[in-house]
Structure formats: C-alpha cells, structure tokens
Structure 1
C-alpha cells in the first residue's frame, strides 16, 4: 500500500474512532437517564407515571430546541448567550399580538420565529463582519434584549385567557402519551441531525471549529457559515418563545431568564465540545433530557432544588474536562500516526 493510501486509511480510522466516541457519549447519557429514572422510581413509584413522563419530556423540550441552535454555534468555536432573552422577547410579542390584535394561531409561530431570526442575524453580523468575539456580542445582546423586553412589557402581563385554545393546545395535548411539544422538538432534532451528517455546508461547521486556519485555506466561507449558525440559533430561540407561550399560556418580562446557562450546560453535557469541532444535536437533546430528569428526580425525592444547580454545574465541569482530555488524546494519536507514516 502506498504512503498516500496509508494516510487515507489512517484518516478514515481516526474519523471512525471519533464517531465511535461520540456515539458512546450519547449511549452513556441515555443509560444515565435510565439509571436516574429507575433509582428515583424505586423511592417514588409515581415518578414513572404517564403524567410524570409527559412532564419530563415537555420540560426538556424547550432546552433541547434551543440546544440544537446552540450546538451549531458552539461547534464553530462560538457561543450564543442571548437565546434565553430572545425566547422571552418572542413569547411576549406573540402574546401581545394575540391579546390586542387577535392574530391567527399559525402566525404566532411564524412571528415568533421571525423575531428570533432578526436577533440571530444581528448577532451573526456583529460577530462575522465586525469581528467582535461572540461571548461579548451575545452577552451584551442578552442585556439589550432584556432591556427592550422590559420597555415593551412595561409592567404588563399576558394571561391565559388572551391565548387562543388552538395555540395553547400545542403545549398540553399529546399523541399516545407523547406531548406535541416533544414531538415538534424531536422532528427538529432529527432534521438538523440529518443535515449535520449529510450536507457539506453543515460539515463545514465542524471543519471551522476544528481548525479555522485550515478551513480558510480549504476555501470554506467561514463568515457565511458562522452567520448562518447564529441565524438558525436565533430562529430556533424565537420558535422556542412561541412554544414557551403555548406551554405556559402566560408571560411577563421574566420569561426565559436563566435559559442560556441551562442550554449551554445541556449542550456541553450532551457531548458538544466547548472548544468546537465535535458534537451532535442528538447528544445536546439527550443532555437537556438528562438535566431535566435529574431536576425532577430531586423534586420527587424531596431534595432541595438548589442541588439541581450544583449537579448541573458539576456535570458541566466534568464534561468540559472530559472533552479537553479527549481532544488531547486524539491529537496525540494523530501526531503519533503521522510520525509513523513519515518514517515509512
């Protein structure tokens, strides 16, 4: 076999190793969810009632939805901390339009998504064109949008009677015990997951996160891809706002507060490397489900809810440490393989 052939086989082998590790991470999270459910159910049998399962799925759905967009951004070595604020603003605008303008049910989801698209486009423009670090941009946008939300709300509140029953049905109806909200998010996760595996534009995101300089030399349009990632993240946060309103049927200026940290934690715990270049939206969704399961398990076990934040923080630190260790191991393995080929 030629040296070129050996390098090709080595590259394929390395890719296979990485994909195997990613799949193992997702399987491990799934098993951990099962363990938490079984242990909690042993102490409280009501934890596995159909109503409790529906609550678990509904509670994790919104974080998982925002986690899909966050995954696209983090894979490119960026971060979007404005998703919670975008969700809150979107939810209130849609609720306000229902209350005072009686818009059609379907338009609530469209308008909510468009609010997110505008926010995502602004984030993407500042990051890619003005070249300001995404952490600074989205942290600033978090407070800017909260301020705008506060001015618009101005002490007002959208109550359940203002929300059309057809709209709120998305938040509480189910199909064979599975909430509509969870089904919608599962479709989004499946669609984006397929695109991330199948389309070149999506795979470019991984190349950008793995090595931006090499990606630029390969002719990948980095600015366009990163802008698109922020645009999608904003759009899903906007859609999440509409779904948040459908689930809770009320909103004020506190809607979505703290979601950004929950989303980042779910994504990283789900196997998306905070340093960029690897991870899947399925893993992010499982991370959201794991954190919500732990939260509900603590409640069912009558343990203080403050422990939920401690557990989430511990899992986040463990995931970041593991990703760093894995990155160093993969780099060392590739360097060793390259050195062996050079000797040949």
Structure 2
C-alpha cells in the first residue's frame, strides 16, 4: 500500500472518544437540569410519603400536568420567535365554556366534532393575536395582554353566572380523563402525541427550523429569505389551536367550567416553558423541554401538598426556578458569545 493510499484512508475515532462525545452531548442538553430536578423531587417525596408514587398518585400527577403540557408546547413556538402570548388562559376559558355550550345545544354531536370546533375556535383567537402583532407591528406583550382581558371579558359576558357541570356532558367525553391505556390516562396520551408531533415539526421541517432562525436574529432571517411575518403568524395560530385543544380537554378533566375558567393560567404556562429550557430571549429551546417543565411544576405542587407544605412556599419555589432558569440561560449565552469572539480572534 502506498503512502497516498494510507493518507486517503478514513480516520475512525476511537471508541473511548465516541463515548466521551456522546456523554458530552448529553451533559449539554438544556433539559438535563430539569430532568434531574424532577427525578430528585419525586425520589425525595416518595421516600417521605410512599403513597406519592402509588398507582393513583402517578395517575394524578400525569392528569395534573396534561393541560399545562399542551399549553407549554404552544407557548414554546411563540417564545422561540422572540414573542409571548399572555392570552392563552383566556383562550382556554372561552373554548372550555364553549365546549360546555356545544354539548348542551347539541348533546348528540360526535365528540371528535367537538374537538374540531374547539381547536378551530382557538386557532381563530390565536390568529387575531398573530395578525395584530405581525400587521400592526405592536409588541406581543402589549397585544396579548390586551386580548387576555378582551377574551376574558367576552367569556364573562357570555357565561355570566352560568356554569356547566359534569352532568351536562356525555359520559364518554368525561371518561377521557378517567380511562387509561397501559396505565396512562387517555388525555395524557393525547398530550404526549401533541408533544411528539410538534417536536418532529420543529426539528425536522423547514418552517419549524425557520422559527429558531427568526428568534436568533429576525433581520438576518429576512435577509436569508425566510417569510418572517408568515412564520410568526403561523406560530400564534398553532398556539391558539393548542390552547383550544387544551380547553376541550379541560372541559373533560374538570367537573365545571364557567366565566373564571383558565384565569391566571398564562403565568404557569410561561413558567413551564422557561423552566423547561426555552430561552425567554428567543432562538433556543425545545417543546420536549417545555413539556418536562410543565410536569416539574405540577409535580412540585403535588409534592409539597403531599408533604403538607404551605402554598406560599409552592409559589416561592416556582418563582426561584424561573429566576434560576433565566439567569443560567443568560450566563450560558454570554459564555457562548465570549467563546465565539475568542475563536474569531484566533482565526484572524
């Protein structure tokens, strides 16, 4: 064999190097701290209260996280584009009460049709937000804060003092949060499917990857030919549709829906996304991380309740987690920028 043929032979990294690279990739995952916190929390709580991980306890944990998981997935799409949607709780409330109204007006309507109506209703409300933001060029924080109150006011006017209870809905619809498949509640499996579909969309399709580019640098994204306005509008529409889906599932999960349904939920949604590793400044994060963040927040509440800790401390811990997530993300961003500047200086 000649010297040339030896130099042309492909170089294969040693197995030890491959293992170190794989381990390094795992350790760099933004979701890793959240997963570790969740594991530690569950382990400690189960040690102090063995009933916490009973069959019913696990089912309750999953059910409590389901609605927030779906909302956090939709919010992630919006935050990645450097926006935010504070109206998701009001959208959920409108759709949940609308679901109760539909069942009262048409009790024989197929359940799948009710899901379709709720998702479409939510998508329309999301489109209202998206159009106001992309066309009027007003910051999302201002627009969605306004629509939060507008949608809530519409729900108050529509519902008044009326509430729809479990007896007003078909039994099969209510059973979605009771029935299980392989031990998992049906509505939780719906949430898992949503997370999987959106995760594949974000990482495996051009429009999904465009959202990251927009969040990283909107002006650069425009220069590269990315339709920024259309992509941001799409993110708000999908976010609204998922809030609509969450509203329908809320009507199945809980015993009553009314004018106050979903109040204050938007803050928990943003918290779940941020704690799950979604950068509040846009451009990075995953829907899987947001879903895990939602599971962590609801597990914290359940764990502290099981340990009979005062509700104030539950809220304080969530606040500490949000601050920690933002600070860690900011430090990581500064370090990455510093490394990039050093690398550029060396190349020069």
3-state SS of the aligned residue for 1:333?
helix
**Secondary structure of the corresponding residue to residue 31 of structure 2:** helix
2:198 aligned with 1:188: no
Task: Give the secondary-structure state (helix, strand or coil) at the position aligned to 1:25.
Answer: coil
Contact 1:79 1:135 in 2 (8 A): yes
Alignment check: 8 A CA contact 1:67 1:267 kept: yes
Structure 2 residue 46 is the aligned partner of structure 1 residue 72: no
Separation in 2, partners of 1:192, 1:36: 27
Moved more, 172-181 or 232-241: 172-181
Structure 1 length normalisation: TM-score? Answer: 0.92
CA deviation string 1:32-81 (max 9, x = no partner): 11111111111111001011111111111111101111000000000011
Q: Which moved more, 1:106-115 or 1:283-292?
A: 106-115
- Which residue does 1:36 correspond to in 2? 41
Determine whether 1:236 maps to 2:267: no
Question: Is the 1:22–1:279 contact (alpha carbons within 8 Å) kept by the matching residues of 2?
Answer: no
- 327-336 or 265-274: bigger deviation: 327-336
Number of the residue aligned with 1:199: 205
Distance 1:85 1:196 in 2: 26
What is residue 9 of structure 1 aligned with on the other side? none
2:275 corresponds to which of 266, 269, 273:
269
Could you tell me which residue of structure 1 aligns to residue 320 of structure 2? Answer: 314
Give, in angstroms, the shift of residue 28 of structure 1: 2.3
The gaps in structure 2 that reach 5 residues or longer are 1-20
Q: Which range is displaced more, 59-68 or 99-108?
A: 99-108
Question: How much does 1:169 deviate?
Answer: 1.4
Cα deviation for residue 23 of structure 1 reads 5.5
Q: 68-77 vs 250-259, which deviates more?
A: 250-259
Residue from 143, 166, 172 that aligns with 2:172: 166
- Whole-angstrom distance in 2 between the partners of 1:110 and 1:56: 27
Q: Secondary structure at the match of 1:79?
A: coil
Q: Which residue matches 1:86? A: 91
Instruction: Report the Cα distance in structure 2 between the residues aligned to 1:188 and 1:310, rounded to whole angstroms.
Output: 30
- The match for 2:110 is 104
Q: Deviations over 1:140-196 (max 9, x none)?
A: 000000000001001101011111011111122111211111111001101111111
Deviation at residue 25 of structure 1 after TM alignment: 2.6
Which aligned runs of 4 or more in structure 1 are off by greater than 2 angstroms?
A: 19-25
Given that 2:272 and 2:294 are in contact with CA atoms closer than 8 Å, whether structure 1 keeps it comes out as yes
How far did 1:22 drift? 8.4
- Which residue is 2:61 aligned to? 56
Q: Which one of the candidate residues 4, 22, 26 is aligned to 2:31? A: 26
Distance 1:256 1:326 in 2: 34
Q: TM-score, normalised by structure 2?
A: 0.91
SS at match of 1:135: helix
Alpha-carbon distance in structure 1 between the residues aligned to 2:33 and 2:325: 12
> Are 1:95 and 2:88 counterparts?
no
**Alpha-carbon offset, residue 249 of structure 1:** 3.6
* Secondary structure in structure 2 of the residue aligned to 1:24: coil
Task: Summarize the Cα distance change of 1:213–1:21 in structure 2 as closer, same or farther, 3 Å threshold.
Answer: farther
User: For 2:152, which of 116, 141, 146 is the aligned residue?
Assistant: 146
Q: Which runs of 5+ in 1 are unaligned?
A: 1-15
8 A contact 2:30–2:285 mirrored in 1:
no
CA distance in 2, matches of 1:299, 1:211: 42
Q: Which has the larger radius of gyration?
A: 2
* Distance verdict in 2 for CA 1:23–1:195, change over 3 Å: farther
Structure 1 position 241, deviation (Å): 0.2
Q: Of 293, 299, 308, which residue of structure 1 is paired with 2:305? A: 299
- Are the counterparts in 1 of residues 89 and 266 from structure 2 also a CA contact under 8 Å? yes
TM-align CA RMSD: 1.5
Per the TM alignment, residue 20 of structure 1 is displaced from its structure 2 partner at its CA by 3.9
2:12 is aligned to none
